Structure 1
């Protein structure tokens, strides 16, 4: 499998029910001068601000000044708490990937395909609904060719290989139609990621879909993907 395939699969990995909130504290350099707010509160504000800025502008166009403004800091104050904008982006991206990979079990023969795929699609779509900014950051990174993600996905390669082997086992045992396992994973990734990339187009009342809408969308997407794959 190519590096691009390894990387692309990350955005199809399901989020666990205990996925870290977007306000999870970022593990970055400690400040060199005391502030008026507690250290943890400042880091929390920076983390929130970074997610909003990176999701909106991407890492290249995002500016340290904009992150500082969103966090209620001056640019000089921001650099008491971070080493660089690039380092902050890397930390945000790492946290997203760790959340997604951490709950994924692709042990060969672990479960029947329907059970595994239903759970995979459900968790991935919930992640897109509940953490749309984080989902968009990951999707945008992958679409750019994953220049940062490629340097930090060693653990994902084994997961990708396990997933492909498990799908191939299902195919060999006539539990799914014939397909290239990686193509199927990429297709699943693209379909589920749509709900993060095009949130405005899949909402019905001008905000994040309500629980009934979410359940209906997840059920429809799940059924379509399972039918497409010929899952028995």
Structure 2
């Protein structure tokens, strides 16, 4: 039974955020098919009927959350062709890692959607593919100008995605290998420093202390 008095104390934006967080947890754990409106409602401390007052459907909520991830990652692209490659790449890697550290369940939800066949994602991937194409153009120009070593720009970009998202999508493995218990913070500074150095060395650049900070 939902505590009506407790519900009354929450504002509409607070209830909507509780629904959002509950949905992220359920979708990250069970995917679209496995998650239920009942389980989302219970996590948000709502009845199922109350939940449907705030959402159109489970599917619509799922698409909304995925679209948010796509929008966020599309903004985190890079296109500063005249900028210093080391600085541009270091900044990009740091932003990608920050998302993994701060929004691990959203990252897992995105990964689970891809693993399950991306039936929903296929319809909303145009924007990130366009932004990725811009990044590829930047990398290609840097290669042509001799500013980074010759490499496959598409594979290089996807390697960055794989490494930065690993710390969210494979959090359990990371913690097991590094002997960090659940609930304890990972050493973000250490990880950022190593991943930035790894990426920059991979394209023939020497990171500065500012790049690694």
TM over 0.5: yes
The yes-or-no answer on 1:86 pairing with 2:59 is yes
Aligned length: 195
The yes-or-no answer on 1:164 pairing with 2:140 is no
Superposition TM-score, scaled by structure 1 size? 0.77
Going from structure 1 to structure 2, the CA distance change for 1:198 and 1:208 (only over 3 Å counts) comes to farther
CA RMSD of aligned residues (A): 1.9
Pick 1 or 2: higher relative contact order, CA cutoff 8 A, min separation 6.
1
Matches within 5 A, 1:67-216: 67-107=40-80, 109-203=81-175, 204-206=179-181, 207-210=183-186, 213-216=187-190
The yes-or-no answer on 1:221 pairing with 2:187 is no
Instruction: Work out the CA distance in 1 between the residues paired with 2:170 and 2:30.
Output: 15
Tell me which stretches of 4 or more aligned residues in structure 1 moved more than 4 Å. none
Structure ID, larger Rg: 2
1:61 is aligned, of 31, 34, 56, to: 34
Does structure 2 conserve the Cα–Cα contact (< 8 Å) formed by 1:141 and 1:149? yes
Where does structure 1 lack aligned partners over 5 or more consecutive residues? 1-34
Q: Give the drift of 1:123.
A: 1.1
The yes-or-no answer on 1:52 pairing with 2:28 is no
Instruction: Work out the CA distance in 2 between the residues paired with 1:45 and 1:72.
Output: 8
Superposition TM-score, scaled by structure 2 size? 0.83
Where does structure 2 lack aligned partners over 5 or more consecutive residues? 1-6, 207-213
Instruction: Work out the CA distance in 1 between the residues paired with 2:88 and 2:60.
Output: 35
Going from structure 1 to structure 2, the CA distance change for 1:90 and 1:110 (only over 3 Å counts) comes to farther
Instruction: Work out the CA distance in 2 between the residues paired with 1:70 and 1:91.
Output: 18
